[in-house]
């Protein structure tokens, strides 16, 4: 069962519930973000992917998380403002969540359990990325060091 066949939802920065079943037919890149991390400049690369591929059904979704060395302690409004002001982020951002532990958001529970390559392994750091195909299947997981530009080839392979 793919993500689009579930009732998993998350709250976006506007405070609205967003159900992932509405993404059917799109390719997703889901990223746990942080504003005060050495990888934070990846927001620019994520925005570039969004700009270049959004018209082809590719959606980038950011999920702020403060579980790694307190690198995103601000409130949701401040986080969104920071991302927009410093990196021009216009891709969809969601309210801060937990990606590990007993408070793990259902989306990340799903992503970790359905990841073919590394089943059930916790998120290790900020800016881990999950690539989801048009049917909602978890295709690949990328560690924090993997730059967004280097993922574009994998995304394009799903567009055919």
23 is a catalytic site residue: no
Phi and psi at residue 157, to the nearest 5°? -65, -25
What SS3 class is residue 3? helix
**Separation between Cα atoms, residue 102 and residue 79, nearest integer Å:** 24
Q: What is the DSSP string of 40-78?
A: TTHHHHHHHHHHHHGGGTEEEEEEE--TTTT---S-HHH
β-strands 138-142, 129-132 pairing: antiparallel
Residues designated catalytic:
37
């Amino acid at each position: 069962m793919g993500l689009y066949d579930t009732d998993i939802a998350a709250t976006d920065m506007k405070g609205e519930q967003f159900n992932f079943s509405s993404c059917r037919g799109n390719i997703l890149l889901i990223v746990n973000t942080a504003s005060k991390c050495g990888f934070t400049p990846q927001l620019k690369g994520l925005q570039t992917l969004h700009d270049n591929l959004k018209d082809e059904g590719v959606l980038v979704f950011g999920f702020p998380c403060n579980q790694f060395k307190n690198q995103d302690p601000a409130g949701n409004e401040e986080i969104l403002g920071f991302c927009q002001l410093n990196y021009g982020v216009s891709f969809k951002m969601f309210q801060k969540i937990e990606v590990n532990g007993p408070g793990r958001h259902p989306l990340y529970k799903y992503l970790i359990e359905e990841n073919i390559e590394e089943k059930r392994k916790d998120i290790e750091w900020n800016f881990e990325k999950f690539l989801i195909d048009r049917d909602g299947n978890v295709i690949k997981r990328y560690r924090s060091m993997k730059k967004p530009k280097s993922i574009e080839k994998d995304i394009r392979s799903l567009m055919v």
